[in-house]
Chain A
Amino acid sequence: MTKEERLKKRHRAEKRFRFYGLTSIFVALLFVVILVQNIFSKGSSAFKKTVITTEVFFDQELLEIQNGASQEEIMEADFYDIMIENLIKAYPAKDRDEEDELLKLFSGDAEIEIKKAFLNENNLIGKTITLDLTASDDIDQLHKGNYPRDLPEERRRISDFQLVIYDYFVENKKISKNFNNYFFNNGDSRDPELAGIGGALVGSFYSILICLLLAFPVAVLASIYLEEFAPKNKITDFIEININNLAAVPSIVYGLLALQILLATIQLPRSTPLVAGITLALMTLPRIIIPCRASLKAVPPSIREGALAVGASKFQSVFHHVVPLALPGTLSGTIIGLAQALGETAPLILIGMVAFVVDIPSSPVDPSSSLPVQVYLWSESAERGFVEKTSATIMMLLSFLIVMNFIAVYLRQKFEKRWN
């Protein structure tokens, strides 16, 4: 082989390698785009809900309360008749069957929505107001275009007559899309139009908070001890290997552990953020210790020696100099560990967070769901409305993860000090 040939070969090898690299990046990006596009196209409609504009007349006779009634009286009053009387006026129905079909176009919470409107504004008796009432899931999906209306009637959830009413609503501009406050404020529900991630958000928040409170101090102190103070011998080697191994243990194993120890032995309340937080803390602990030790290790020994040489004690050299320098790396490692914990599903399923919980937890010991478990639950539901809710929940989860990772990167870049 001549010199030129060899040179050409080397250049070809480099070009080939660049090509492989570019291809890999392109393929990776393609997958990300497909994933994001899929989730967005399915999920974005969940942030809007379909409402039917309805006139509501508060008839004194049907309500059985007076103007100026107290809050409690209103809460106890029966708004069912008011609801029925007003809703059937939304469309000129001919008989009882048609009225029933008409009523099915509204969500199961129509009565509560009317009551809330009454509570917000005083002295509505004898008056008529215009309300945007949430439509049922079927109408919601139809209006969003997620529901094929050209199927034969027996294969549709919406009857031909309901389609006629729907078209009448559309024609008279009585149907519109509003911001879906239910999606953020409500807990889970059997009715997709009423289901929300409020409970899951609060549950996840409590779980991650408990996870942070437990895992962060333990992990940081363990790392500092192991990295700075512990003698280097077989025992610490053994501990180190085990920490690395624990970080790779499948998360469901931590779920089993929690099931046996936290639920069966200590008898903590099941399905609660408390147990979830402890379980996630166990799981996150090694995942924080590893980056934490790495960032302690990255502090140059010259800083420690500099401190020791002016007469700082070991403790002072570590806490005055090494730890502050390692803090950005430690914090970003912690946030990434928490982000992993936030997305963790398997251990939470084992400790019973798959339970159907309607109420939004008011404390960490109330039964609750969490975001990833909510995704899991909804993805198994048959109703069409849950498809968009699943994707929208994933969007929420992903945006939290992106924000957390962004904070981690920001902290590292902003506060990491350079030496020499």
Chain B
Amino acid sequence: MSNIKIKSKNLNVYYGDKQALFDVNLDLNEKEVTALIGPSGCGKSTFIRCINRMNDVIDICKVTGNIEMDGMNINDKDLDVVSLRERVGMVFQKPNPFPKSIYDNISYGPKIHGKGETKSELDQIVENSLKKSALWEEVKDRLDEPGTSLSGGQQQRLCIARAISVNPEVILMDEPCSALDPIATAKIEELIDELKKTYTIVIVTHSMAQAVRVSQKTGFFHLGKLIEVGKTEKIFKNPDNKMTQDYITGRFG
């Protein structure tokens, strides 16, 4: 059994008067892929946005309870979110490369964190990140072209490269394949398999098949509550909860 990297205890999230998460207790294991499944609006994305404090962007959002990474309270008001996000990277639903060159897309993170002082160091980081995200061969000759000129799947891999460029410990993926075709999706899944050797990964997905393929642990959310969590194999073969059973067999959601 691997170590627990992130641990949430009685996590509650409110958007104004509306409660979006109810007492979520979920542990994420180190160097493992945890998939979060559930119908739209069930709070999966809200949960992972708690891990890198992305909910701070929303004025009316309030988070209570505990969420810890290596024993450090993420939800601490005094925590520096900049250094937190350096350790917890994120990939979004829609590929969102900066409208800059491929090189600048990746070098931006290291630059603002003071990693890679010299040009050659930066070059190295860019190359490594692109290699890790399996994009290097496709773009090595056109690093100065805009990131937005790539195809959707390449853009998403570019965003993954951008996330790993600052060498985080955790990567959050919010439906990273929902805007991609099956071939691009397969590539990303392959990549996730590779990345989990180095990083702790949390992926939100609407595809059961994807959850089965990439994850070791799966959590099922419904209406803001974590209904069931366990080994992926168990959740999909023999869930304890009737609702989980209904959801994975396509009876609702």
Chain A residues in contact with chain B, CB under 8 A?
A: 231-232, 300, 302-313, 316, 320-321, 325, 417-420
Contacts and interface: CB of A to CB of B under 8 A. Distances in A.
A300 B148 CA distance: 14
A310 B165 contact: yes
B54 to A, nearest CB: 7
Contact of A302 (B59, B94, B113, B146): B94
B148 A232 contact: no
A190 B198 CA distance: 85
A325 B100 CA distance: 10
A320 B104 CA distance: 11
A303 B112 CA distance: 16
Q: Top 5 closest A-B pairs, CB basis?
A: A310-B109, A302-B96, A309-B90, A311-B85, A311-B86
Interface in B61-102: 82-86, 89-90, 92, 94-99
Contacts of A305: 54, 57, 90, 92, 96
A328 to B, nearest CB: 12
28 contacts: A302-B92, A302-B96, A305-B57, A306-B96, A306-B97, A306-B159, A306-B162, A307-B98, A307-B108, A308-B57, A308-B85, A309-B90, A309-B92, A310-B165, A310-B166, A311-B84, A311-B85, A311-B113, A312-B109, A316-B112, A320-B108, A321-B98, A417-B146, A417-B148, A418-B99, A418-B148, A420-B148, A420-B155
Interface of B: 52, 54, 57, 59, 82-86, 89-90, 92, 94-99, 108-109, 112-113, 146, 148, 155, 159, 162-163, 165-166
B99 A309 contact: no
Contacts of B159: 306
A299 to B, nearest CB: 10
Contacts of A302: 92, 94, 96
B99 A231 contact: no
Nearest to A325: B99
Contacts of A303: 96, 98-99
Contacts of B52: 309
Contacts of A304: 57
A305 B52 CA distance: 11
Given A304-B57, A310-B162, A417-B99, 5 more contacts: A302-B94, A306-B96, A311-B86, A311-B109, A420-B96
B241 to A, nearest CB: 32
Contacts of B163: 309-310
Contacts of A420: 94-96, 148, 155
Given A305-B54, A316-B112, A420-B148, A310 B96 contact: no
Nearest to B86: A311
A312 to B, nearest CB: 6
B57 A310 contact: no
A302, A305, A310, A312 pick with most chain B CB within 10 angstroms: A310
Contacts of A307: 98, 108
A307 B98 CA distance: 8
A363 to B, nearest CB: 43
Given A232-B59, A305-B57, A306-B162, A313 B89 contact: no
B30 to A, nearest CB: 21
Nearest to B53: A308
Contact of A306 (B86, B98, B113, B166): B98
Contacts of B98: 303, 306-307, 321
Nearest to A232: B59
Contacts of A418: 99, 148
Given A418-B148, A419-B99, A419-B148, A310 B85 contact: yes
Nearest to B108: A310
B59, B95, B96, B162 pick with most chain A CB within 10 angstroms: B96
A325 B148 CA distance: 14
Nearest to B146: A417
B47 to A, nearest CB: 16
A79 to B, nearest CB: 67
Given A305-B57, A306-B159, A311 B166 contact: yes
A302 B148 CA distance: 13
Contacts of A320: 108, 112
Given A305-B54, A305-B57, A418-B148, A312 B95 contact: no
Contacts of B86: 310-311
Contacts of A321: 98
B163 to A, nearest CB: 7
A412 to B, nearest CB: 15
Contacts of B148: 417-420
A55 to B, nearest CB: 70
Nearest to A301: B57
B59 A312 contact: no
Contacts of B146: 417
Contacts of B97: 306
Contacts of A311: 82-86, 109, 112-113, 166
Given A320-B108, A420-B94, A310 B99 contact: no
A303 B166 CA distance: 18
B176 to A, nearest CB: 13
B89 A309 contact: yes
A310 B95 CA distance: 14
B54 A308 contact: yes
A232 B86 CA distance: 28
A320 B107 CA distance: 13
A321 B90 CA distance: 17
B195 to A, nearest CB: 16
B52, B98, B159, B165 pick with most chain A CB within 10 angstroms: B98
Nearest to B110: A310
Nearest to B52: A309
Given A305-B96, A310-B165, A418-B148, A231 B90 contact: no
Nearest to A316: B112
A306 B166 CA distance: 13
B84, B86, B99, B165 pick with most chain A CB within 10 angstroms: B99
Contacts of A300: 96
Contacts of B155: 420
